[in-house]
Structure 1
Amino acid sequence: MNIETLTWGTLDIKDEQIYHFPKGIPGFEDDIDFALITVEDGPFSYLQSLQNQSVSFLLSDPFVFYPTYEFQLPESDKEELEIADLVNVRCMVTIKEELESSTVNLLAPIVLNPVKRSGKQVVLHNSNYQTRHGLWNVSQDHFEKGGE
């Protein structure tokens, strides 16, 4: 399937790259189907809306930057996504003009079921995580104290 994007022009997307978000993403509820586009040689990927070529999100594997990142996925979310065994977690990244100031949202990870190809942004409740944790050169000690 070919899709049009603002950033990369026309892309050939395979079926296994398409994820369905039944409720969309908060703030983008009309965008329910996305292509997961992996960036070669790195921990980044893009989530490109199939409904709107101007909607895409930069994602990262949070465990690359925060190896001890963890959370308990609520049973209701497991059921909604039909998660049995396999699950992928990605977090939204905000790139700043000064790259050292770029951040990652650990409070609301994107949870993906690669078997059913479904996804959801899950907001973690009762968590010390925030929406803006430093992406580069952050010590684990600083993170554990709740710093940005």
Structure 2
Amino acid sequence: MEIQTTRFGNVNTKPGDILLFPSGLPGLKDSLHWVLLADAENDSLGWLQSISRPESALAVVNPRRFVKDYQVRVSQREILPLQLKTPADAQALAIINKIGSALTINLKAPLLFHLGQRLGHQVVVNDDQPLQHVISHQVSQTRKSA
């Protein structure tokens, strides 16, 4: 299956690679289907690309790369959309943002995935985590390829 993107051009993906966000994402409620792309130059960086909105791609990273003891603490109700058999089935990614000349990750509202079911859901954690955890103070040009 070929999807069109404004950042990466046309990308080939398999239907089995598509992730469903049943509730969409804040600000992107109409985008339910996404695909996770690896970055061509940085193996710790990924891109969550919308299938229906070519211009919507979110840079994502494993938050434990920057905060070793990071844990997602949410109520059982928060993770119901993921259909988890056990919390260990969930994987977390944090969205990367550019704030001025710094890169930050959002630890307060991570993306959770149940890859076995191809489901994703953004949650708000119960504990005191920052919305903007700085991971780099100098930012180069945003990548244009996956």
TM range (shorter): 0.7 to 0.9
Map 1:66-81 to 2 at 5 A.
Answer: 66-81=67-82
The CA deviation at 1:128 is 1.4
Aligned match of 2:54:
53
Sequence identity percentage? 23
From the superposition, tell whether residues 97 and 79 of structure 1 become closer, same or farther in structure 2 (CA, over 3 Å).
closer
The CA deviation at 1:136 is 3.1
- Root mean square deviation, CA, Å: 1.7
**Contact 1:17/1:37 (CA < 8 Å) preserved in 2?**
no
**Contact 2:22/2:81 (CA < 8 Å) preserved in 1?**
no
Distance 1:97 1:2 in 2: 34
RCO (CA 8 Å, sep 6+): is it higher in 1 or 2? 2
Instruction: State the TM-score, normalized to the length of structure 1.
Output: 0.83
Structure (1/2) with the larger helix percentage: 1
Distance 1:109 1:29 in 2: 16
The CA deviation at 1:69 is 0.6
Give the counterpart letter for 1:71 in structure 2: V
Structure (1/2) with the larger strand percentage: 2
Instruction: State the TM-score, normalized to the length of structure 2.
Output: 0.84
Map 1:106-125 to 2 at 5 A.
Answer: 106-125=107-126
Q: Deviations over 1:18-68 (max 9, x none)?
A: 110011001110011001112255211011111110111000010011111
Distance 2:13 2:38 in 1: 11
In the alignment, structure 2 segments of 5+ residues that lack a partner are: 138-146
Give the counterpart letter for 2:36 in structure 1: L
* Range with bigger deviation, 64-73 or 47-56: 64-73
